[in-house]
């Protein structure tokens, strides 16, 4: 075809045969090749690894972009029902979802390997029911080795293994989705059987998949599904599933949850899942296959690899759970360079330190694996491990940017004697550790002393020494110094809040640069140290309590309005070792300033915690101190939520009933639910209950008999509603169609609801009655 007649579009690449006209003629001349319109299938070596199952049609991609946009709106709770559509919202979602599934049928592999459609598949997986999940995963069976190694399809598989937990748990309990009968299709396996078949499919190549950068994270999700692990102190082992980079990318995709449920949680917790015994057996088989097929040197190479180390860490957890970590030539024994085997020999000599483990101790990737080894190794192995690699080297390791995390994990297993020696060895290095913001070892020592019930005084002295609080009178500055991680001398040299700015031409100008950090900003490390100190028994925890009690009200408000330092106040109320009178003193110290406390995003949460702790007598004092600022508090964006729990109007009009309400709510919060003889008064946002409505008679309802004192009282909001909207006559009818004397039957809530509905739908006339609808 001449160049001038060629159509626009993507240029087709000619193969080597098409480039040679002579060869093309020979192909057409040979009768064995068949007609010219028959194209031979591509050979396996010609398959594009980026699209192993072919490209997705552009029209299909455009359709799934629409599906993605609609599901984003539903999952982000941004969808509003159109007034012109009479269809139920859930029914509309169901029809939309069924249409998307029909379009997806037969194209699952192509969609999973597409960079745009793979994200849509992940979003759709959260809304699939048990039957659809079985159909979807059945369509992928037989190609999982290719899918796990693919850049985009691997994330689809990982998401599926994460959401399949609920379905497997239901099938384990005998709840299996019904399959519609069909003569032209085979038997649909349960999801439990499908996952077991997937394990058998990838088992021959499992050792090679560990090293694959795309398959590694999928294997972690699969192992967690097969063998749910609850680590000590880490109930949901999410750190095994995704890296920080992957979690940040997924966060940009918006909320991913089912569009058919209103649950706002993050999904099922792994440790509460019920899995069949076959799953655990399959995970143990994976662990044993690695132990049999991979040599000791290769295992140690996996431990130092960024891709394979997290998978090996999970396999070590599985090995420890089944009790095979203490056997010779186990995975743990190979990573520890034979320390498990040598510890079983009756010898008093310590093994020589291995350069391999010393390297793991300081490697950013492998140190996580060493933390698992330190936590899960047998006791006799830990004694040798501590004596060989930690004891005598704590001053350097505690200050190392990576090794200090391993030391913190090792401190959690120390006994009383080892803890004492560790405190003595680190006594001269606390100041350097605090200056470098590496307080993990110090916090672990505090927590360990609390668990063992010994050396509490020594760990408190370590804190005082590190922050330069040698004199008991200076320890009132403990909380400010620890929060900013500065010694007393450095803290006093910091500029105060008023010194950071000066007035220039009538305007305040800050000395500090715009991007410079605030030197008085609380740190997370300091707040964690204070929370650990508050868990110590008396009198060691009182040092922190007394330091907070010495703060001014303004400093306490600043402490409460910060997301980091406010956790210290929560720890005071939650700690069982802090005396009750100290907690009560903290709550009472804010009386008169609660309107300032709750007028903040963080402070409103602290105010709710204080209110939940307070007894009815203390609650009444809090409410009466807020009454003068009632209007400003109701206008506050954050304070109005706190004000709704106070029932200020009820306290003004019926104090006894308000006190009874608070007593009942406090008993309910403490789990002491008693039988109530009367109805409780509602909050201001609810309808009045039967008990809250006063009895009405003719004399009391007559405006001529009302006393001056009653007219001067502020009107109740329910009275204002009836007076302004319905008038006095309708008010009497609302109370029972005729005046009700004292002792007569009080109207029901249904009658009150009918009146309020009439007020909402009908405008009121000049005489107070609902105006009649005019005829056209």
Taking alpha carbons only, the member of 677, 672, 722, 670 closest to residue 696 is 722
Whole-angstrom Cα distance, residue 109 to residue 144?
10
Whole-angstrom Cα distance, residue 739 to residue 245?
71
End-to-end distance of the chain based on CA atoms, in angstroms? 76
Backbone φ and ψ for 297, nearest 5 degrees, come out as -65, -35
The b/e string for 540-572 (b: 16+ C-beta within 10 A; e otherwise) is: bbbbbbebbeebeeeebbbbbbbebbbbbbebb
Taking alpha carbons only, the member of 717, 599, 612 closest to residue 662 is 612
14, 8 Cβ separation under 8 angstroms: no
Cα separation values, 196 from 16, 136, 164, 168, 282, Å: 45, 16, 13, 11, 7
SS3 call for 164: helix
Write down the pLDDT at residue 88: 67
Whole-angstrom Cα distance, residue 343 to residue 339?
6
Q: What is the DSSP string of 37-104?
A: T--PPPPGGG--TTSTT-PPPHHHHHHHHHHHHHHHHHHTT-----TT--S-HHHHHHHHHHHHHHHH
Whole-angstrom Cα distance, residue 329 to residue 341?
8
Taking alpha carbons only, the member of 220, 101, 120, 245 closest to residue 161 is 220
Helix (H) or strand (E) holding 26: helix 21-29
Burial class for 1, CB neighbours closer than 10 Å (0-12, 13-18, 19+): exposed
Q: Which residues pair with 510 in a beta bridge?
A: 501
740, 697 Cβ separation under 8 angstroms: yes
Composition of the chain by helix, strand, coil, percent to 5: 60, 0, 40
Residue 234 is given by DSSP the state: B
Domain edges within the chain: 58-176+187-260, 698-761
220, 314 Cβ separation under 8 angstroms: yes
Q: Tokens 């204070």 appear where?
A: 530
Taking alpha carbons only, the member of 349, 54, 49 closest to residue 214 is 49
Residue 772 is given by DSSP the state: P
Taken in order 30, 33, 39, 40, the sign of the CA dihedral is negative
Write down the pLDDT at residue 314: 92
Q: CA torsion, points 387, 392, 396, 401, in degrees to nearest 10?
A: 20
Helix (H) or strand (E) holding 502: strand 501-504
Write down the pLDDT at residue 52: 85
Burial class for 453, CB neighbours closer than 10 Å (0-12, 13-18, 19+): exposed
Taking alpha carbons only, the member of 77, 397, 523, 98 closest to residue 264 is 77
Mean pLDDT, each 10-residue run in order, the chain (776 residues): 46 47 39 46 59 88 88 64 54 83 89 90 88 91 92 92 89 84 72 94 93 92 86 47 66 71 45 80 94 92 91 93 89 91 76 89 91 92 92 92 94 94 93 92 95 93 91 91 92 71 49 65 94 93 94 93 94 94 94 92 93 91 90 88 87 89 80 40 36 37 41 52 48 40 44 48 43 40
253, 119 Cβ separation under 8 angstroms: yes
The b/e string for 72-107 (b: 16+ C-beta within 10 A; e otherwise) is: bebbeeebeeeeeeeeeeeeebeebbeebeeebeeb
Count other C-beta atoms under 10 Å from residue 595's C-beta.
19
134, 168 Cβ separation under 8 angstroms: no
- Both tokens assigned to 566: 């406010």
Whole-angstrom Cα distance, residue 487 to residue 361?
30
Q: Which residues pair with 555 in a beta bridge?
A: none
487, 467 Cβ separation under 8 angstroms: yes
Residues 6+ apart with CB under 8 A from 730: 722, 755, 768, 769
Write down the pLDDT at residue 81: 44
Tens digit of each residue's pLDDT (9 = 90 or more) over 112-156: 999 889 988 988 888 888 899 999 999 999 999 999 999 999 999
Write down the pLDDT at residue 357: 92
Q: Which residues pair with 501 in a beta bridge?
A: 510
764, 770 Cβ separation under 8 angstroms: yes
Q: What is the DSSP string of 442-474?
A: HHHHHHHHHHHT--HHHHHHHHHHHTT--SGGG
Cα separation values, 730 from 20, 716, 738, 745, 770, Å: 99, 17, 10, 18, 9
Q: Provide the CB-side half-sphere exposure for 632 (13 A, CA).
A: 11
Q: Provide the CB-side half-sphere exposure for 83 (13 A, CA).
A: 0
């Amino acid at each position: 075809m001449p160049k001038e007649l060629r159509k626009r579009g993507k240029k087709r690449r000619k193969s080597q045969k098409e480039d040679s006209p002579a060869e093309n003629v020979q192909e057409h001349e040979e009768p064995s090749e068949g007609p010219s319109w028959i194209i031979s299938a591509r050979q396996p070596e010609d398959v594009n690894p980026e699209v192993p199952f072919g490209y997705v049609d552009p029209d299909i991609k455009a359709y799934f972009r629409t599906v993605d946009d609609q599901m984003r709106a539903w999952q982000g709770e941004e969808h509003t029902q159109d007034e012109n559509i009479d269809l139920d919202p859930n029914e509309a979602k169901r029809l939309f979802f069924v249409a998307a599934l029909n379009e997806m049928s037969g194209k699952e592999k192509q969609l999973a390997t597409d960079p745009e459609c793979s994200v849509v598949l992940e979003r759709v997986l959260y809304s699939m029911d048990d039957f659809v999940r079985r159909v979807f995963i059945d369509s992928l069976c037989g190609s999982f080795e290719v899918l796990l190694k693919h850049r985009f399809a691997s994330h689809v598989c990982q998401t599926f293994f994460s959401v399949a937990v609920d379905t497997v748990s239901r099938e384990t309990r005998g709840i299996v989705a019904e399959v519609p009968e069909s003569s032209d299709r085979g038997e649909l396996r349960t999801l439990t059987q499908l996952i077991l078949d997937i394990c058998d499919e990838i088992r021959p190549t499992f050792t090679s998949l560990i090293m694959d950068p795309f398959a590694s994270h999928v294997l972690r999700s699969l192992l967690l599904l097969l063998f749910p692990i609850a680590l000590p102190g880490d109930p949901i082992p999410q750190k095994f599933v995704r890296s920080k980079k992957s979690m940040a990318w997924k966060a940009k995709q918006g909320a991913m949850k089912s569009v058919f449920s209103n649950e706002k949680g993050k999904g099922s917790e792994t440790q509460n899942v019920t899995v069949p015994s076959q799953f655990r057996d399959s995970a143990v088989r994976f662990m044993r296959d690695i132990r049999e097929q991979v040599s000791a040197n290769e295992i140690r190479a996996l431990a130092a690899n960024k891709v394979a180390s997290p998978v090996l860490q999970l396999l070590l957890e599985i090995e420890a759970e089944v009790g095979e970590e203490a056997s010779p030539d186990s995975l743990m024994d190979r990573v520890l360079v034979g320390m498990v085997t040598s510890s079983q020999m009756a010898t008093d000599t310590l093994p020589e330190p291995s350069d391999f483990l010393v390297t793991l101790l300081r490697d950013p990737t492998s140190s996580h694996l060493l933390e698992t080894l330190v936590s899960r190794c047998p006791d006799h192995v830990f004694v040798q491990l501590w004596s060989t690699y930690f004891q005598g080297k704590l001053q350097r390791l505690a200050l190392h940017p990576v090794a200090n995390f391993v030391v913190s994990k090792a401190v959690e297993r120390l006994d009383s004697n080892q803890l004492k020696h560790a405190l003595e060895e680190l006594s001269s290095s606390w100041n350097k550790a605090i200056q470098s913001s590496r307080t993990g070892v110090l916090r672990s020592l505090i927590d360990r002393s609390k668990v063992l019930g010994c050396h509490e005084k020594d760990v408190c002295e370590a804190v005082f020494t590190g922050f330069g609080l040698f004199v008991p009178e200076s320890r009132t500055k403990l909380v400010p110094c620890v929060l900013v991680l500065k010694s007393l001398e450095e803290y006093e040299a910091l500029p105060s809040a008023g010194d950071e700015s000066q007035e220039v031409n009538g305007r305040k100008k800050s000395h500090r640069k715009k991007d410079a950090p605030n030197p008085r900003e609380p740190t997370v490390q300091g707040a964690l140290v204070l929370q650990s100190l508050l868990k110590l028994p008396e009198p060691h925890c009182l040092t922190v309590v007394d330091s907070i009690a010495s703060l001014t009200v303004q400093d306490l408000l600043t402490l409460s309005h910060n997301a980091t330092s406010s956790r210290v106040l929560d720890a005071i109320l939650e700690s069982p070792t802090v005396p009750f009178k100290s907690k009560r003193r903290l709550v009472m110290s804010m009386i008169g300033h609660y309107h300032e406390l709750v007028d903040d995003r963080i402070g409103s949460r602290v105010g709710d915690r204080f209110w939940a702790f307070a007894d009815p007598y203390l609650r009444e004092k809090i409410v009466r101190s807020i009454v003068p600022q009632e209007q400003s508090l109701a206008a506050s964006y954050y304070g109005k939520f706190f004000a709704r729990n106070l029932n200020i109007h009820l306290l003004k009009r019926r104090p006894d009933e308000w006190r009874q309400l608070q007593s009942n709510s406090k008993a309910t919060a403490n789990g002491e639910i008693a039988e109530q003889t009367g109805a409780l008064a509602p909050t201001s946002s609810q309808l009045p209950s039967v008990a809250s409505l006063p009895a009405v008679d003719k004399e009391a309802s007559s405006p001529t008999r009302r006393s001056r004192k009653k007219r001067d009282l502020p009107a109740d909001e329910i009275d204002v509603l009836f007076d302004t909207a319905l008038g006095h006559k309708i008010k009497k009818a609302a109370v029972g169609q005729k005046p009700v004397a004292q002792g007569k039957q009080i109207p029901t809530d249904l009658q009150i609801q009918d009146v309020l509905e009439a007020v909402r739908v009908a405008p009121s006339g000049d005489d107070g009655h609902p105006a009649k609808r005019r005829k056209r």
